[in-house]
Amino acid sequence: MKVVDGIQMKMLDQTAMEEYKIPGIILMEQAGMAVTEEIMKEIQRQENKRVMIICGLGNNGGDGFVAARHLFQRGIPVKVRIIGDIARLNGDAKSNYDILKKLKTDIKTMLDFQDIQKLSDELAHSGIVVDAICGTGLNRGADGLWKELIRVINQCGKYILSIDIPSGVSASTGNILDTAVRANKTVVLQLPKVGNINFPGADYSDEMIVKDIGIPKEAIERNNLNISLITETMIRNILPRRKNDTHKGNYGKAYIVAGSMGMTGAAMLTCEAVFRSGAGLLKVAIPQSLNSIMETRLIEAITVPLPELKKGVVGISDIEKIIKTMKESDVIAVGPGSGQTRELEEVLRNIFEEATIPIVLDADALNSLAHRLDMLKLLKSTAVLTPHIGEMARLINIPIEEIQRNKIQIAMEFAQKWKVILILKGARTVIASPEGKVFINTTGNPGMATAGSGDVLTGIVTGFLAQGIQPLEAALAAVYMHGAAGDRAAVRIGEYGLMAGDIVVELPHAIKEIVGK
């Protein structure tokens, strides 16, 4: 499913009206009817059937006017309150306002703080409050009267339904523009907005219902929208079904360089996830003093003990062994628990110069790259980078807060500049490709914010790449399944006690739900 920002949605509306000759008032009618359907569902659950629709002066308010008319015609007690001077109403919104006036519905305007106080009293007697104030066109924070209006709505204690996006949430980023309506449900028109999906906007949108308002599918396809949601159907089409007549060689050979003194757990979690995601064979390069630990715990993998710079840290004295094993493999992953050393930087440089197979870079490999990002120019094969927000901040020397505010744009620019696939981890993980495509994931839960969760994701990406899944598709499938496994674990044991190992345990069950085997 495609996702749009405020500007792209405006372009889609214009395309529908100008090229497909669909009058704007018809799109507004469809939107208002879609909102009415969702209001009627909620009315069935409410003892208090009174509806208060609070409208702005733009098209979002026009959608609210249409919904008010349909509710009025069905005999639902509905009131409309408009913030601002109605002399500024124009176009389709003005036409629908005029209809409401002729029907003699209960309409009043709010022009000062005294009017807002009157609204507060009226909300006490309402059952459902509809936010039709701002919509996707908002690009500045609420102040004065508008800020007070949003405060009163949020404190009314009633069921709140927002049209398209809660007023005060940026449709293009999900950031809160000073203050915003906290909806119980958001009726999203035609396509999800970035602000509905990204946090913190996603929290304000709460339950999200996407409703078609009649923009032609062809128009959506022609606009070459570059942001998509990862869906279960998408992942089902990516993950291959297994044939009966196969052996471990059919499912790929993975190779991981990981682990250091005190960090063998990261290597183990990564390796376990490689196997649980379906890879046929795994070799793990580990400092030789830690080899016995790995062999005791991880009996399915083949260990490759490496000479050490110092105890528990991989050196480069036997780089030929690393390269030789890599050339016998289908994918290599570097970084989980490897430790931050100058030696690792040299290991990476050699791998970049020699690798013709996909490379997955995580954790300490990313921290090493932060000192020598230009090493990415040496790549001859596709690299998948998996930073969390902190690692991304170190990679590009930008404050964490700025990345959080502009995750999609920053991820897209990085992937295009360095010609890599970037998995920017966090709530609503973002995946960006060198071609400028961006995908947003919605699986996962707060319980996954725990040590080792990222190592598991690295293992899943590596396991899917080993099986021959194309790098971008492997990244999408890995992020989705990682979250889906975490969701299964949260259902089973709750979010508080969830550990990374629980994600590994649930991973094959989550895959089975999608693939059927």
> CA-to-CA distance for 107 and 212, rounded, in angstroms?
28
SS (H, E, C) 494-510: CCCCCCHHHHHHHHHHH
Find out whether 425 is annotated in a ligand binding site.
Answer: yes
Give, in order, the Cα–Cα distances in Å from 63 to each of 18, 60, 206, 302: 20, 5, 20, 62
> CA-to-CA distance for 131 and 392, rounded, in angstroms?
36
Give, in order, the Cα–Cα distances in Å from 118 to each of 107, 122, 125: 13, 6, 12
Nearest of 61, 198, 195, 179 to residue 130 by alpha carbon: 61
Find out whether 500 is annotated in a ligand binding site.
Answer: no
Find out whether 318 is annotated in a ligand binding site.
Answer: no
What's 193's DSSP letter?
Answer: B
Find out whether 447 is annotated in a ligand binding site.
Answer: no
> CA-to-CA distance for 5 and 76, rounded, in angstroms?
34
Find out whether 127 is annotated in a ligand binding site.
Answer: no
Nearest of 78, 175, 77, 75 to residue 132 by alpha carbon: 78
Find out whether 125 is annotated in a ligand binding site.
Answer: no
Find out whether 60 is annotated in a ligand binding site.
Answer: yes
Find out whether 214 is annotated in a ligand binding site.
Answer: no
Find out whether 63 is annotated in a ligand binding site.
Answer: yes
Find out whether 454 is annotated in a ligand binding site.
Answer: yes
Find out whether 135 is annotated in a ligand binding site.
Answer: yes
Find out whether 324 is annotated in a ligand binding site.
Answer: no
Find out whether 310 is annotated in a ligand binding site.
Answer: no
Find out whether 136 is annotated in a ligand binding site.
Answer: yes
Find out whether 426 is annotated in a ligand binding site.
Answer: yes
- Torsion angles phi and psi, residue 348, rounded to 5: -60, -45
> Which residues, other chains included, contact 267 with Cβ-Cβ below 8 Å and sequence gap of 6+?
256, 258, 259, 284, 286, 294, 336, 337, 455
What's 176's DSSP letter?
Answer: B
Find out whether 259 is annotated in a ligand binding site.
Answer: no
Find out whether 115 is annotated in a ligand binding site.
Answer: no
Find out whether 246 is annotated in a ligand binding site.
Answer: no
Find out whether 140 is annotated in a ligand binding site.
Answer: yes
- The binding site for AMP comprises 425-429, 454
- The binding site for K(+) comprises 60, 131, 167
- The binding site for (6S)-NADPHX comprises 59-63, 135-141, 164, 266, 337, 388, 455
- The binding site comprises 59-63, 131, 135-141, 164, 167, 266, 337, 388, 425-429, 454-455
